[in-house]
Homo-oligomer: A and B are copies of this chain.
Amino acid sequence: MSKIRIGIVGYGNLGRGVELAIRSNPDTELAFVATRRDPSAVQIKTENVPVYKTADLAAHQDEADVVVLCGGSATDLPEQTPALAKLFNVIDSFDTHARVPEHFANVDAVAKETGHTAMISVGWDPGMFSLARLYGNCILPDGKDYTFWGKGVSQGHSDAIRRVEGVQDGKQYTVPVEAAMEAVRRGEQPELTTRQKHLRECYVVAKEGADRAKIEHDIKTMPNYFDEYDTVVHFISQEELDRDHAGIPHGGFVMRSGVTGADGEHKHLIEYSLKLDSNPEFTTNVLVAFARAAARFAAEKSYGCKTVFDVPPAYLSPLSGEEIRAHLL
A interface with B by C-beta (< 8 Å)? 17, 20-21, 24-25, 45, 97, 100-101, 104, 121, 126, 128, 130-135, 137-142, 185, 260-262, 265-278, 281-282, 285-286, 289, 292, 307-314, 316-317, 321-322, 324-326, 328-329
Contacts and interface: CB of A to CB of B under 8 A. Distances in A.
A97 to B, nearest CB: 7
Contacts of A276: 266, 268-269
8 contacts: A130-B328, A130-B329, A131-B135, A138-B316, A139-B286, A260-B285, A268-B275, A309-B328
Contact of A268 (B267, B282, B322): B282
Contacts of A314: 134, 309-310
Given A128-B139, A134-B324, A312-B312, 9 more contacts: A25-B141, A101-B326, A126-B329, A134-B314, A139-B289, A260-B281, A266-B281, A268-B281, A272-B272
A307 B328 CA distance: 11
A324 B309 contact: yes
B135 A316 contact: yes
A23 to B, nearest CB: 9
Contact of A104 (B21, B130, B266, B325): B325
A269 B307 CA distance: 23
Nearest to A98: B326
Question: Which residue, A45, A101, A260, A310, has most C-beta atoms of chain B within 10 A?
Answer: A260
Given A20-B262, A128-B135, A328-B137, A309 B289 contact: no
A17 B309 contact: no
Contacts of A25: 141
A134 B307 contact: no
Nearest to A258: B285
Nearest to A136: B328
Contact of A260 (B128, B278, B307): B278
Given A268-B274, A281-B260, A329-B130, A313 B322 contact: no
A312 B329 CA distance: 16
A277 B266 contact: yes
A311 B277 CA distance: 31
A277 B282 contact: no
A100 B329 contact: yes
A272 B274 contact: no
A313 B135 contact: yes
A312 B289 CA distance: 15
Given A21-B260, A312-B309, A321-B309, A134 B285 contact: no
A310 to B, nearest CB: 5
Contacts of A139: 128, 282, 285-286, 289, 316
